[in-house]
């Protein structure tokens, strides 16, 4: 992961992100870090997960971003989840503003990270705890090679309960009626009777 050696301000970060369409930049404790390119399987899993969510969600209620929407924790911390569901109401006040910044301080209903060799350890150690501290309602970490999912769900008392899955159809509790079939994800288990 490419990073700068010096810290920058939140305003500098926002200006850079809005002017650089070619790269994905995160801000880690004030340090600008480029989100690296990922493996084919990582990208395929994230894209498929995003497509499944788009198909099931009302676009008037929710927006799905794959490697797009940012979570803002503090002025020094912005992360780009692999997949994120954003309430449309968060975006509506800014939809006609060409300089609107696609970043959210309010808790989001769903964020997901897909393990990759370049970012997997960092995602687990740094990003997932920050999503919890932000109060995001459901946080998924999918390992595309082990084909396992750890789903952390916010409880009424503010704590998180983690459930693990190794396949099957998994409900997203924060989005009632929405599910993702882990076996259908790229690299997932083939169903009996399929070639």
Write down the residue that tokens 């676009």 correspond to: 59
Q: What stretches in the chain show pLDDT beneath 50? A: 191-195
| The pLDDT value given to residue 194 | 45
Query: What confidence score (pLDDT) does residue 164 get?
Result: 97
Q: Is residue 31 part of a domain?
A: no
**11 within some domain:** no
Pairing of strands 83-87, 62-66: antiparallel
pLDDT at 4: 61
Overall domain count for the chain = 1
pLDDT tens per residue across span 37-86? 777 888 899 999 999 999 999 999 999 999 989 999 999 999 999 999 99
- Checking 126-131 for CB contacts under 8 A at 24+ apart, the result is 126/28, 127/79, 127/81, 128/152, 130/71, 130/73, 130/77, 130/79, 131/71, 131/79, 131/81
Q: What is the pTM of this model?
A: 0.88
- Tell me the CATH number at 44: 3.90.1570.10
Domain that holds residue 111: 38-184
């Amino acid at each position: 992961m490419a990073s700068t050696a010096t810290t920058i301000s939140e305003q500098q970060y926002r200006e850079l992100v809005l002017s650089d369409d070619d790269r994905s930049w995160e801000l880690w404790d004030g340090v600008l870090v480029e989100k690296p390119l990922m493996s084919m399987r990582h990208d395929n899993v994230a894209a498929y997960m995003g497509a499944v969510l788009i198909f099931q969600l009302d676009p008037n209620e929710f927006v799905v971003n794959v490697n797009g929407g940012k979570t803002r924790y503090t002025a020094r911390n912005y992360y780009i989840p692999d997949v994120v569901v954003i309430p449309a109401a968060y975006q509506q006040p800014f939809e006609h503003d060409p300089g609107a910044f696609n970043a959210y301080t309010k808790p989001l209903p769903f964020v997901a990270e897909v393990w990759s060799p370049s970012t997997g350890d960092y995602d687990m150690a740094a990003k997932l705890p920050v999503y919890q501290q932000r109060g995001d309602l459901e946080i998924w970490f999918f390992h595309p090679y082990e084909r396992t999912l750890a789903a952390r769900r916010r409880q009424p008392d503010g704590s998180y309960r983690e459930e693990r899955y190794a396949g099957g159809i998994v409900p997203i509790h924060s989005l009632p009626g929405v599910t993702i079939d882990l076996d259908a994800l790229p690299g997932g288990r083939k169903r009996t009777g399929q070639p």
